[in-house]
Structure 1
Amino acid sequence: MNIVFVSLDTLRASRLGCYGYGKPTSPYMDRIASGGVLFERAYAADIPTEAAHTGIFTGKLGIHTGIVSHGSPLTHLPKGEPWLPALLRSEGVATAAVDNLYQLKEWFARGFRYYINSVGNERHIDGRTVNELAFPWIREHKRERFFLFLHYWDAHTPYLPPKEYVAPFYEEGRDPFDPSNRSMEEAYNHAAYPFFKHHHYDRLGEVTDTAYIDALYDAEVRYLDDRLRELDELLIAEGLYENTLLVLFGDHGESMTEHGIYWDHCGLYETTVRVPVMMRWPGVIPAGRRVTGLVQQVDLMPTVLEAAGLRPPPSIDGKSLWPIIRGEREGTQDRIYLSECAWQASRGLVTADHKFIRTYDAGPYVRAPRELYDLRADPEETVNLAENLPELSARMEQELEQWVERELGGRPDPMAVQLKAGLPFRNRIDHILRQCGLSWEEWIRNPRRHLFDEALAKTRSVGGDRQ
Structure 2
Amino acid sequence: MKIIYIDIDSLRPDHLSCYGYKRKTSPYIDSIAEKGMRFDGCYAASSPCLPSRASFMSGRYGVNHGAITHWGPGSDFYYPEGDGHSTKYPFFTRYLREAGYETVTFSSFGDRHHAWWYFAGWNEVHTHTMQEGNENANEVVDKVIPWLEDNGKNDNYFLHLQLWDPHTLYTCPVEYAEQWQDHPAPSFPSEEVIKKQQNDSFPRSANFLHTVDNFPDTMPRKINSRKDYEKLVNGYDGAINFMDEQIGRILETLKKLEIDDEVTFVISADHGESLGEHGIYGEHASATESVHHLPLIIKSPNVTQPNSDYKGLLYNVDVIATITDMVGLDIPLGWDGKSFLPRLKGEKGTFRDHLVMDHALYTCQRAVRDEKWYYIRTYHPGLYKFDQVSLYNMEDDPYQQENVIAEHPEVAKEMDHRLMEWQQENLGVNLNRVDPLQEVIKTGPWKYVTLDGWIEHLRKNNWFAAIEELEALYKEDDEAASVYGS
Amino acid at match of 2:443: A
Residue pair 1:157, 1:200 contacting (<8 A) in 2 also: no
The structure-2 alpha-carbon separation of the partners of 1:200 and 1:160, relative to structure 1 and needing over 3 Å to count, comes to farther
Shift of 1:444: 8.4
What CA distance in whole angstroms lies between the structure 2 residues aligned with 1:5 and 1:321? Answer: 17
Q: Which residue of 2 aligns with 1:106?
A: 116
Residue pair 1:70, 1:424 contacting (<8 A) in 2 also: no
Matching residue within 137, 150, 153 for 1:127: 137
Amino acid at match of 1:197: H
What CA distance in whole angstroms lies between the structure 1 residues aligned with 2:399 and 2:133? Answer: 31
Residue pair 2:204, 2:282 contacting (<8 A) in 1 also: no
SS in 2 for 1:306: helix
The structure-2 alpha-carbon separation of the partners of 1:265 and 1:429, relative to structure 1 and needing over 3 Å to count, comes to same
SS in 1 for 2:281: coil
What CA distance in whole angstroms lies between the structure 1 residues aligned with 2:464 and 2:9? Answer: 31
Shift of 1:431: 6.8
Q: Which residue of 2 aligns with 1:155?
A: 166
Q: Which residue of 2 aligns with 1:95?
A: 103
TM score, norm. by length of structure 2 = 0.83
Amino acid at match of 1:429: T
What CA distance in whole angstroms lies between the structure 2 residues aligned with 1:69 and 1:444? Answer: 30
What CA distance in whole angstroms lies between the structure 1 residues aligned with 2:55 and 2:377? Answer: 21
Amino acid at match of 1:157: T
What CA distance in whole angstroms lies between the structure 1 residues aligned with 2:341 and 2:12? Answer: 24
Q: Which residue of 1 aligns with 2:42?
A: 42
The structure-2 alpha-carbon separation of the partners of 1:365 and 1:329, relative to structure 1 and needing over 3 Å to count, comes to same
Residue deviations 1:126-166 (CA, integer Å, cap 9, x gap): 10011111111122222432111100011100012212212
Matching residue within 192, 200, 225 for 2:203: 192
The structure-2 alpha-carbon separation of the partners of 1:283 and 1:390, relative to structure 1 and needing over 3 Å to count, comes to same
SS in 1 for 2:320: helix
What CA distance in whole angstroms lies between the structure 1 residues aligned with 2:61 and 2:243? Answer: 28
Residue pair 2:204, 2:283 contacting (<8 A) in 1 also: no
Q: Which residue of 2 aligns with 1:13?
A: 13
Q: Which residue of 2 aligns with 1:445?
A: 466
Is 1:4 equivalent to 2:14 in the alignment?
Answer: no
The structure-2 alpha-carbon separation of the partners of 1:111 and 1:291, relative to structure 1 and needing over 3 Å to count, comes to same
| Percent of paired sites with the same residue | 26
Residue pair 1:191, 1:447 contacting (<8 A) in 2 also: no
Residue pair 2:2, 2:158 contacting (<8 A) in 1 also: yes
Shift of 1:320: 1.0
Alignment of 1:307-322 (within 5 A): 307-322=326-341
Residue deviations 1:80-104 (CA, integer Å, cap 9, x gap): 4421111111122111100011111
Residue deviations 1:385-422 (CA, integer Å, cap 9, x gap): 11111121122112212221221113211100121132
What CA distance in whole angstroms lies between the structure 2 residues aligned with 1:200 and 1:357? Answer: 33
Residue pair 2:379, 2:441 contacting (<8 A) in 1 also: no
Residue pair 1:292, 1:331 contacting (<8 A) in 2 also: no
Amino acid at match of 1:222: N
What CA distance in whole angstroms lies between the structure 2 residues aligned with 1:211 and 1:170? Answer: 8
What CA distance in whole angstroms lies between the structure 2 residues aligned with 1:288 and 1:4? Answer: 19
Shift of 1:330: 3.6
Q: Which residue of 1 aligns with 2:52?
A: 52
Q: Which residue of 2 aligns with 1:266?
A: 285
Alignment of 1:7-406 (within 5 A): 7-72=7-72, 74-78=75-79, 79=84, 80=86, 81-103=89-111, 104=113, 105-121=115-131, 124-144=134-154, 145-171=156-182, 190-192=201-203, 197-199=210-212, 202-204=215-217, 207-208=221-222, 209-406=228-425
TM score, norm. by length of structure 1 = 0.86
SS in 2 for 1:428: coil
What CA distance in whole angstroms lies between the structure 2 residues aligned with 1:251 and 1:436? Answer: 30
Matching residue within 401, 419, 425 for 2:441: 419
What CA distance in whole angstroms lies between the structure 2 residues aligned with 1:444 and 1:83? Answer: 49
What CA distance in whole angstroms lies between the structure 2 residues aligned with 1:95 and 1:203? Answer: 35
Residue pair 1:70, 1:342 contacting (<8 A) in 2 also: yes
The structure-2 alpha-carbon separation of the partners of 1:335 and 1:193, relative to structure 1 and needing over 3 Å to count, comes to closer
Show structure 1 runs of 5+ residues with no match.
173-181, 449-467
Shift of 1:220: 0.5
What CA distance in whole angstroms lies between the structure 1 residues aligned with 2:132 and 2:378? Answer: 35
What CA distance in whole angstroms lies between the structure 2 residues aligned with 1:137 and 1:257? Answer: 40
Amino acid at match of 2:445: L
What CA distance in whole angstroms lies between the structure 2 residues aligned with 1:212 and 1:206? Answer: 6
What CA distance in whole angstroms lies between the structure 2 residues aligned with 1:207 and 1:418? Answer: 31
Residue pair 1:291, 1:331 contacting (<8 A) in 2 also: no
Shift of 1:211: 1.6
Residue deviations 1:218-272 (CA, integer Å, cap 9, x gap): 1101111111111111112122222211100111111111111111112222221
What CA distance in whole angstroms lies between the structure 1 residues aligned with 2:106 and 2:204? Answer: 32
Residue pair 2:382, 2:444 contacting (<8 A) in 1 also: no
Residue deviations 1:299-324 (CA, integer Å, cap 9, x gap): 11111112222112122111112111
Residue pair 2:303, 2:344 contacting (<8 A) in 1 also: no
The structure-2 alpha-carbon separation of the partners of 1:113 and 1:424, relative to structure 1 and needing over 3 Å to count, comes to farther
Residue pair 2:204, 2:280 contacting (<8 A) in 1 also: no
